[in-house]
Amino acid sequence: MSFRVPGALRKLRTTTATTAAKLATTASRATGRGAGGMIGGLIANAIDPSIMTNLGGGRPAVLVTGTNGKSTTTRMLAAAVRAEHTVATNDGGDNMDAGIISALMAGKDASHLVLEVDELHVPHVADNLNPQALVLLNLTRDQLDRVGEINKIERALRGAVEAHPDMLVIANCDDVLMTSVAYDAKNVIWVSAGAGWLGDSVTCPRTGGHVVRTEDDWYAVKPLADGREFRRPQPTWGVDKHGIITPTAKRPLNLALPGRANRGNAAQAIAAAVAGFGVDLDKAIAAAESIDDVAGRYSTIHWRGREIRLLLAKNPAGWQEALSMVDRSADGLVIATNGQVADGIDMSWLWDVKFEGFNGLSVKAAGERGTDLAVRLVYADISHELIPDPLDALAACPEGRIEVLANYTAFRDLKKALSKEATNA
């Protein structure tokens, strides 16, 4: 009898935690404070610190991590796995413990887990869930006031891979840092998913040796400590402008989402679904092609005679990719930047991003840090108008198709303001 008590107590604690979390989530929604996912997960974890393992352990799981593309890849991968299984996922972007726990509670009856995970949380989450697979997208500096973090993240992720030797790793071989993370993995699938931003991978993270790049290859000039060469692995999956390349065939890939980076995200999502969970290739491709919106990103909103497309960017690599997606034939462009903690207070990254090439567009600089942005646009020789309030900036654009590119809190606040106005209309 004494052996049953701990198990019974653990079950009771988990049940209590889940009930309290549901009440908190309901209260948050009822009072208009938000969807309630974060508060529910926080309360559940406070009551039962083992709840992640209790709810998720034992179910086949895949974790998705990287600086950019986590939410998009997670949504594509969840859709692909859902073609043949039931899925619990946090594809809304809540990627730390509280959000993951909320997803596990919401999908307690699902057979499979597809989870976006913050890079530094991967070791802890992997230890709790013992995932079947891990998708490694890319690593670049996120916020300049946290610039020292990138090598720390690489080491943490490498440690997680070492701690789970049976885990399948789906890694981007075009990204030097993620290649280092997965280089010693026993079970790895290399995907050529692209590397649009190269500024953070000019040296080997293990030796500090310079990385030399050619068109389709890269290598470090210094060998690793054990004498091995550190070089781009040969991929078995890849993507180009025509389609996706698999180990056995090449198939068309017609995504609803724009941009070269999203084609790379799709390649890794499809590879993970097929190789990790046995999903039929055609079903996985169709699922990735069906995704046209990721938490409001890439969505189109009709507002006061304008068709507004929203693009989100959170770091230099993301900004460069998002800028390449801007439709140069649009009737206007609003670029909005805030400098809150969630965005990164240091705005000097603006000088690393190439804003040149928007001549002929009606450009508005907006946001709390719109003045910093306006100075950068002056040096990029971009004719623009500074209008701090993003809604006012939109109103100043001509009617027609308007592109909006914003960082995290500027995107969040503008999307909320547009939705509120539409609700009250």
State the catalytic residues. Answer: 346
Amino acid type, 58: G
Which H or E run contains 6? helix 4-30
Q: Which residues pair with 218 in a beta bridge?
A: 213
Query: What is the Cα–Cα distance from 180 to 205, expressed in whole angstroms?
Result: 7
Q: Which residues pair with 116 in a beta bridge?
A: 64
Which tokens sit at 92?
């809304």
Query: What is the Cα–Cα distance from 237 to 249, expressed in whole angstroms?
Result: 10
Other CB atoms within a 10 A radius of the CB of residue 399 amount to 11
The closest of 346, 295, 255, 259 to 95, measured between CA atoms, is 295
Query: What is the Cα–Cα distance from 82 to 316, expressed in whole angstroms?
Result: 33
Q: Pairing relation of β-strands 168-172 and 384-386?
A: unpaired
Residue 193 burial class via C-beta count within 10 angstroms: exposed 0-12, middle 13-18, buried 19 and up? buried
Amino acid type, 363: V
Compute the CA torsion angle 130, 134, 138, 140 (nearest 10 deg): 0
Phi and psi torsions of 157, nearest 5°: -70, -40
Instruction: Name, in order, each residue with C-beta under 8 angstroms of 68's C-beta and a sequence gap of 6 or more.
Output: 137, 138, 140, 261, 314, 315, 317, 318, 321
Strands (E) across 243-291 are located at 243-245, 250-252
**Ramachandran region, residue 145 (left: φ > 0; alpha: ψ -120 to 50; beta: rest):** alpha
Q: Half-sphere exposure (CA, 13 Å, Cβ side) for 255?
A: 26
Query: What is the Cα–Cα distance from 64 to 138, expressed in whole angstroms?
Result: 11
Query: What is the Cα–Cα distance from 121 to 106, expressed in whole angstroms?
Result: 20
Query: What is the Cα–Cα distance from 371 to 369, expressed in whole angstroms?
Result: 5
